[in-house]
Structure 1
Amino acid sequence: MVVMKAPYLNMSRTPWSQIAPPSVKAARLNPEADIGTMPAMFKAGAQKLKDVVEARTHRWHRWAEVVLPFLVLATALVVRKADWDLVAEAKFKVFDTYQRMAPRVWDPRLPVRIVDLDEETLRRHGQWPWPRTLVADLLRASCRGAGVVAFDSIFPEPDRTSPPSLAASLPAAASEARALLSRLPDHDRALSRAIAEVQAQGCQVVTAFALTNGESGRETQAKRPVLSRGEAPESFLARYKDVTPTLPVIERAAAGNGSMNNVPDVDGVARKAALMFSLRGKPVPSLAAEAVRLAQEGGDKAVYMLRATGQGESTGGAETGLTMVKVGALNIPVDSNGGVLIHFTPADTPRSVPAWEVLSPGFDPARLGGGIVFIGTSAEGLKDQRPTPMSSMAPGVEIHAAVAEQMLSGYFLERPDYADGMELTFILVLGSALILLMGRFGAAWCALLAAAAIGAFAWGSWLAFLGRFGGRRMLFDPVLPSLVVLAVYMFASLIRYLRTEAEKRQVRGAFSRYMSPDLVEQLAKDPTRLKLGGEMREMTLMFSDIRGFTTISEQFDAHGLTNFINRYLTPMTQIVLDHKGTIDKYMGDCIMAFWNAPLDVPGHEVLACRGALKMIRRMNELNDTWKAEAEVEGRKYIPVRSGIGINSGPCCVGNMGSDMRFDYSVLGDDVNLASRLEGQSKSYGVDIVLGAKTRAAAAAFAALELDLIKVKGKTVPVHIHTLLGDEALALDPRFKALVLKHEAMLAAYRGQRWDETDRLRLECEKESEALGLHLAKLYHLYEERAAEGRAHPPGADWDGVFTATTK
């Protein structure tokens, strides 16, 4: 049995002399003792051994009854705190059940309605998209009974039925028809004029846009600013890189413009709506937020305010994200990501009015409530259906309407910031109590205690959802904490049952299982932490080395050289770290660093270039210090210069080495090229050499092309550049003139026009010196090459490539 293993393993700690009776000891000391007494001797010794084993087994079981259930409890707490997808989905199902049991009661006095492009409307007026003139008619009709009209659809492309669009589609031979159509009104401008007309009459219009993560580079118009308080609240919003906007001619005419996006939970169900999103780092409002802003008095001039923790706001003592979004004069409590939990009304709520009725003569505008109207669709063919707690296929426009109703009425579902803490506390307190009380009161009484506590917590969760505690409708999960407590109870009961059974089996036949194993200890290690591996990432590499280090080191003893190296490496390392780089290794006086691993670093090429410029400036400051020290110590001062090579490209990065030792490092052809570029800085007399990819990504910096070169060990030539300054220098008119002249010099050199090369070289050298750029060695290098070209012309097929023979 497993329960017998541990005591037997520990027997080597108990000397035989303390277990065996005197007769057994005597038998060992006197081999000539009567062999007939041996069975009795061993029987006595075995009984003593059995007593020791049972005592130790009993103690082990007592500890197991407490320790193992606590391990189960701790594991459950970790799983619950991690809020894995499976755990989150279980919690969501409970809240969905609450919503179906007690949906929000729709109040017809709330001025929020939906003009529905339903199936009947599409049958009567044609399939979507409609001509923009018909959309304009629907807008005018809706505005007769509304103060704000919000389109839950975007108009990203010109109307294909518009006369100018039709004219453009006709062949060139139909010139008269094209001319006639071109003179007819443009439908998109007609809708824009309709928006202006209704807004002049007091009905505000909100257009929509869709946020994406594409790369179209399109923009959308923010109608009102979004202010913020606290610790960077915009960083907690759902982030997007791109947008599909409504046509500018329509978007500009509208008073509001909001995102129609919906961010579902992990199971795809829409339970909350974000009031704000982040587009390229800037907050933009949702469609519902824009509609509510404009529905308020003076809403066309109202602004938004994001409030996060760190500015007088806290969530249970922790700083966890957003706490409030102010929409005009309304303070809307939100979750950490700016979302509002939706308490849905029943699916058959009569807030929707078919669009065909709105367009019909004799329609009563009062049916639209005089407030906010969302124009959306419930037609299945238009694919704007979303699963919600109340329906597997609910129109997406109902989500916007439900959020607007809650914002206007001040009715909110809340998942309090202390909810997770309360649920974890319930698990910890009740689980610990069951474990500690199981041995004293038994499984039956502990079962009653667990049932009573779970029932009370579940009832309290339901009452909190109904708003019976101060009117706040709060969400607490009763199921998962109860299941965890039940699992702990069952495991503790199982351990106690197994202990009892084991003790009975020990009494009946433990000795029959007697064996005398050696004490074995095993050290268990986690092998996954030692697994080698890597990944391919787009990275920027930097190599930095002191030039002429051997000459410099000769003036120091071992202590002085160590001090010199440390004084150099420390500030240079700090600069790399300040610019989000990672130090790979030090190789004597050389620094190897990289960017964009192990974490993503946006703009890593620019950060590496900026860091390199700062390293050169810091080196100049160090030179001033070392010069002063050399004068005080009466030794020769040798200026210290460093060369830096920077290159970007795909590399393999990860834990590399042997099974005994490995480091997080980087490999790849672009790594080798970065090292070669650092070596070429001395040949060209510059401080920083950039590869082509790095230069392309940092195009705003001041740089000049150095050469088209085959570095040592490479067969493909690469364009290399020298980094001379930041964006300020790049914008200097004198530097711009130098760039043009320098490019002309390179063109003359590659075209074998040696006299022109010399003339332009001299002018470039003079202009660079005027800018404080010391490029004399670079231009003298081209002087030597021009002279060599005159003396030994390279031939008509020369491609201008220089082959480096040194690293």
Structure 2
Amino acid sequence: MLTRFFRRIGAGRLLGIALLGCLLVLRVADPGPVQQLRHAAFDLYQQLHPRVQQQVPVTIIDIDDPSLEAFGQWPWPRSRVAELVIRAFEAGAVALAFDIIFAEPDRLSPPAIARDNPDLPEDARERLSALPDTDAALADAISRTRVVVGQTSVRSTRAGLAKTRQIRQVPHAILGEDARAFLPRFPDLIQNLPELEDAAAGRGVFSVRPDADGIYRRVPMAMLVQDELRLGLAPELLRVATGGNAFALRGNAAGVDGVVLGGKLVRTAPDGSVWPYLTPSSPARFVSAGALLSGDVPTGRLAGQLVLTGTSAIGLEDYRPTALGTSMAGVEIHAQLLENILTDTLLKRPNYAIAVELFTVAVLSLLVIILVPVIGARLIIAFAALLLAGYVGGVYYLFVDQRILLDPTWPALGTLMTLMLMSSANYLREERQRQQIRGAFGQYVSPDLVEQLSENPAALTLGGERRDLTILFSDVRGFTTLSEGFKDDPAGLTALMNSFLTVLSRAILKEGGTIDKFMGDAVMAFWNAPLDTPDHPSAACRAALAMLADVADLNARRAKDAAEKGETSLPINVGIGLNTGNCVVGNMGSEMRFDYSALGDAVNLASRLEGQSKTYGMGIILGETTANAVGDSFAKLELDLLRVKGKTQPERVFGLLGDAAMRNSVEFARLEHANGAMRQAYTEQRWADATAALNDVVNAGEALGLDLTGYAERYRARIADLTASPPRLDWDGVHVATEK
């Protein structure tokens, strides 16, 4: 019963269901390549439809290249940084955060210069030591304003860094489930100088980790550093600017649900991160630090602004690759996050996203699995394209309208993979059916014809076309005598003929020939139909030579087997005729039964030439058209000007002896010369010279391993008859065949 159930479903559908299971498991596992596909799609969303920049009270004080040109290379003296802070707040800034860390004492502070340079004159050292400490000046400026100092984290413990200093608390609360275990963890924290940390109103961590491909797409709102809860730089700036009250981490069983800042819930991913929705980098966000120090900033530019201080200077290398496909200064990423929080434009990757994507993969793939075996390929492709276009268009609409991130890649890829598998299974099933048809038909007609008919069943109609063909006829000489040896073993004769015809067929098919029919021990084949064979005369000659060679091998095996049994075996001798000409080829017969065959004068002549192979003692006889077509590619001899039985026009016939290697040998040149001399003497009725030349022909043939005695004896007998009864004066050298 189970077997019947599986048979009803079909192997293709079972494979499709197995693939669907693998696709679902792979999506749940979410390996790197699957993530990268999804992230690439999310990047494309933003590149096609970036966020429109709005008027938001967020400004970047930029330590840019013009600032460094005007006030010297970085790092600046802390007194200048203190001046920058004071000027920012004098210009109306609400709060300021540093995307910079001041972890070491200022080497440019006058007391530090006096301390670190003992070779200075004593009075100079005393005056320097008496000047204000620049770190203290910066701490004083920070203490009188709302400043968030930046901190950074490292992934591995570094001795003597953070373990030796206490981490100052940031006020916070836990709402709902304690979800701190889901937050990213950093073992160490790099802090500012203690006096700066003590003076600051807030402390934010500006570490942002890229995804596996190096792109910065997500920013943590909160994190654990040495097991202490910390906000990122931008949300900490917002906390300080809104009064400095405690923030709250809200959680549930699945992880972090969001962060509460200034009474507002900012929803996050379960790991506490958010997806900023970016605009292209905009100069409108920036105020040059050099311009602020020089007093060149327009009045009111910083009034009411949340200020982030960082750098876009090329030499300081604070650039990050983003989802927009371009790099952006790290401080601008923090600024854009702050804009997203203030305008409620963060991208949303809801917790149900994975369920939606898995459901979509399952539904679309199941539809393909069910429908592919029962409807046409074009229809299913159109249907699948419509479904995928609808899904992809729908998720893109959700991004544009609701800023929701749903993955278009895995459902689309999964459906396409299922479609490809099911289509391949369909193709294999149909190909198996074609093979069954080919196997049945191929026992009776040409495999090439079977292939053509399997691809184009409409060709199974009566009719034909005119084409130039090279036709081959072969027959066994002395078949009656051979068959007499099997009079008590007809099964043995059948087995021998099957082996013999298999040998001939293999040589024909190897050269692209079409086997027309078997007629007892005879074979008819042709080239250049139904498939085009541009060099069909040469292909037919190669096949004929291979047939003789393969029959010789068969005879050798038969002789060896017979000798082992103490018996004798008669060799099989084959005669072959080849001719090229225009024929009608196609399906010939009645409407109830027909064969793919060729008709025409060229076919009849090929059959007559095969009959003359015994007469001339040659294995292969070529018609003049075939001989001219192959040129000097084969070793061939002109045999006669012959008028075959049933024909009125004479035909110049040739014997095919070997391939190009024989044709180019010195021995064949000698044979060709001797045969040419004989033919010329014969045509000129110089009978004695012709007879003498025949001896040279036989000897030259022996040098090539050819037995031309039958050919020579035929001419000797004919010359004897012509000597006894001389031809008429207008004799043209044409010999009239009296036998087929």
TM-score bracket for this pair, using the shorter chain length: 0.5 to 0.7
CA offset digits 1:558-596 (Å, max 9, x no partner): xxxxxxxxxxxxxxxxxxxxxxxxxxxxxxxxxxxxxxx
* 2:313 is aligned with 1:379: yes
Q: CA RMSD in A?
A: 2.3
Is 1:78 aligned with 2:8?
no
Q: Secondary structure at the match of 2:16?
A: helix
Q: Aligned partners of 1:275, 1:242: CA distance in 2, in Å?
A: 18
Say whether residues 1:149 and 2:79 are aligned partners. Answer: no
Residue 356 (str. 1) matches residue 303 (str. 2): no
Residue matched to 1:486: 416
Provide, for residues 363-387 of structure 1, a one-character-per-residue CA deviation record: whole Å limited to 9, x for no partner.
Answer: 3242125220101111121121101
Q: Give the distance between the partners of 2:252 and 2:440, measured in 1 at CA.
A: 63
Supply the AA of the counterpart residue of 1:121: S
Q: Percent of aligned pairs with the same residue?
A: 36
CA–CA separation in structure 2 for the residues paired with 1:253 and 1:223: 14
**Structure 2 match to 1:437:** 371
Q: Could you say which residue in structure 2 is the equivalent of 1:139?
A: 85
SS of 1:363's equivalent in the other structure is coil
Whether 1:195 aligns to 2:148 is no
- Equivalent positions of 1:181-260 (< 5 A) are 181-197=128-144, 199=145, 204-212=146-154, 213-215=156-158, 216=161, 217-219=163-165, 221-222=167-168, 224-260=170-206
Contact kept, 8 Å, 1:347 with 1:390, in 2: the verdict is: no
Please tell me the residue identity of whatever aligns with 2:263.
A
Runs of 5+ unmatched residues, structure 1: 1-55, 311-318, 514-807
CA distance in 2, matches of 1:506, 1:58: 25
Distance 2:266 2:4 in 1: 61
- CA distance in 2 between counterparts of 1:158 and 1:121 reads 22
* Contact 2:157 2:188 survives alignment (8 Å): yes
Please report how far the alpha carbon of residue 176 of structure 1 lies from its aligned counterpart in structure 2 after TM superposition. 3.9
Kindly provide the CA deviation profile for residues 619-638 of structure 1, in whole angstroms up to 9, marking residues without a partner as x.
xxxxxxxxxxxxxxxxxxxx
The answer to whether the 8 A contact 1:151-1:376 is kept is yes
Give the residue type in structure 1 aligned to 2:222: M
- 1:324 and 1:59 map into 2 onto residues whose CA distance is 49
Say whether residues 1:407 and 2:360 are aligned partners.
no
Please list the CA deviations of residues 591-627 of structure 1 after superposition, one character each: whole Å capped at 9, or x if unmatched.
Answer: xxxxxxxxxxxxxxxxxxxxxxxxxxxxxxxxxxxxx
Cα drift, residue 362 of structure 1: 4.8
Q: Which amino acid aligns with 2:191?
A: P
C-alpha deviation, 1:230, in angstroms:
3.8
Query: How far has the Cα of 1:509 moved from its partner?
Result: 2.5
C-alpha change, 1:414 and 1:291, in structure 2 (3 Å) is same
Q: Partners of 2:324 and 2:434 in 1: how far apart?
A: 56
Please state how far the C-alpha of 1:229 moved relative to its aligned partner: 2.9
SS in 1 for 2:10: helix
- Matching residue of 1:124: 70
User: Is 1:260–1:287's contact at 8 Å kept on the other side of the alignment?
Assistant: yes
Quick one: distance in 2 between partners of 1:179 and 1:369? 42
Alignment of 1:505 onto 2:435: yes
- CA shift in 2, pair 1:395/1:293, >3 Å: same
Please report how far the alpha carbon of residue 416 of structure 1 lies from its aligned counterpart in structure 2 after TM superposition.
Answer: 1.0
Residue number in structure 2 paired with 1:69: 16
1:289-300 paired onto structure 2 within 5 Å = 289-296=235-242, 299-300=243-244
Distance across 2 between alignment mates of 1:168 and 1:379: 31
Deviation at 1:132, TM superposition (A): 0.4
Q: Amino acid of the residue matched to residue 374 of structure 1?
A: L
Among candidates 34, 57, 64, match of residue 111 of structure 1 = 57
Query: What residue in structure 1 maps to residue 106 of structure 2?
Result: 159
The 5 Å alignment of 1:611-650 reads: none
Q: When the two structures are superposed, what TM-score results if normalisation uses the length of structure 2?
A: 0.57
**For residue 248 of structure 2, what is the amino acid of its counterpart?**
M
CA distance, structure 1, for counterparts of residue 151 and residue 307 of structure 2: 17
Aligned AA for 1:207?
V
**Residues 91 and 477 of structure 1 are in contact (CA less than 8 Å); yes or no, is this contact kept in structure 2?**
yes
1:81 partner amino acid: V
Give the Å deviation of 1:287.
Answer: 0.8
With over 3 angstroms needed to count, the CA separation of the structure-2 counterparts of 1:510 and 1:225, relative to structure 1, is: farther
Aligned match of 1:307: 250
| Structure 2 CA distance for partners of 1:59 and 1:178, relative to 1, 3 Å | closer
User: Counterpart of 1:367 in 2: which secondary structure?
Assistant: coil
The Cα of 1:58 is off from its aligned counterpart by 13
Could you tell me the TM-score, scaled by structure 1's length?
0.52
Q: Give CA-to-partner distance per residue, 1:232-279, whole Å, 9 cap, x none.
A: 311111111111111011111111111011121111111111111111
Give the equivalent residue in structure 1 for 2:268.
334
Contact 2:178 2:252 in 1 (8 A): no
Distance in 2 between residues matched to 1:391 and 1:380, nearest whole Å: 18
Given that 2:170 and 2:203 are in contact with CA atoms closer than 8 Å, whether structure 1 keeps it comes out as no
Amino acid at match of 1:372: L
Matched residues in 1 for 2:383 and 2:120: separation? Answer: 90
Cα offset, 1:511, TM superposition: 12
SS at match of 1:416: coil
Question: For residue 117 of structure 2, what is the aligned residue in structure 1?
Answer: 170
Instruction: Give 1:114's aligned amino acid.
Output: I
Change over 3 Å in CA distance of 1:250–1:510 after alignment to 2: farther
TM superposition shift of 1:78: 1.8
- Counterpart-to-counterpart distance in 2, 1:369 and 1:476: 39
> Secondary structure in 1 aligned to 2:269?
coil
Task: Measure how far apart 1:174 and its partner are.
Answer: 4.5
Gaps of 5+ in 2: 444-740
Name 2:326's counterpart in structure 1: 392
- Once the two structures are TM-superposed, the CA of residue 438 in structure 1 deviates from its matched residue by 1.9
The answer to whether the 8 A contact 1:211-1:244 is kept is yes
**Partner deviation per Cα, 1:29-50 (whole Å, 9 max, x = no partner):** xxxxxxxxxxxxxxxxxxxxxx
* 1:362–1:448 Cα change, 3 Å: closer
Mark the CA change 1:383 to 1:445 in structure 2 (over 3 Å): closer, same or farther.
Answer: same
Residue correspondence of structure 1 range 687-702 to structure 2 within 5 A: none
* Alignment of structure 1 residues 30-69 onto 2, 5 Å: 63-69=10-16
Q: Secondary structure at the match of 2:200?
A: coil
Deviations 1:473-519 (A, max 9, x none): 10111123112101101110110111111123134438999xxxxxx
Structure 1 pair 230–455 and aligned structure 2 pair: CA distance change class (3 A): same
Partner of 1:645: none
Q: What is the correspondence of 1:416-431 to structure 2 with a 5 Å cutoff?
A: 416-431=350-365
The 5 Å alignment of 1:407-806 reads 407-467=341-401, 472-509=402-439
Offset at residue 461 of structure 1 (A) = 0.9
Question: Are the equivalent residues in 2 in contact too, given 1:89–1:267 (CA < 8 A)?
Answer: yes
Question: Aligned in 2, Cα 1:87/1:280: closer, same or farther, shift over 3 Å?
Answer: same
Q: Which amino acid aligns with 1:85?
A: G
Amino acid aligned to 1:100: Q
1:500 alignment partner AA: E
Deviation at 1:223, TM superposition (A): 5.2
Q: Is the 8 A contact 2:224 2:230 kept in 1?
A: yes
SS at match of 2:300: helix
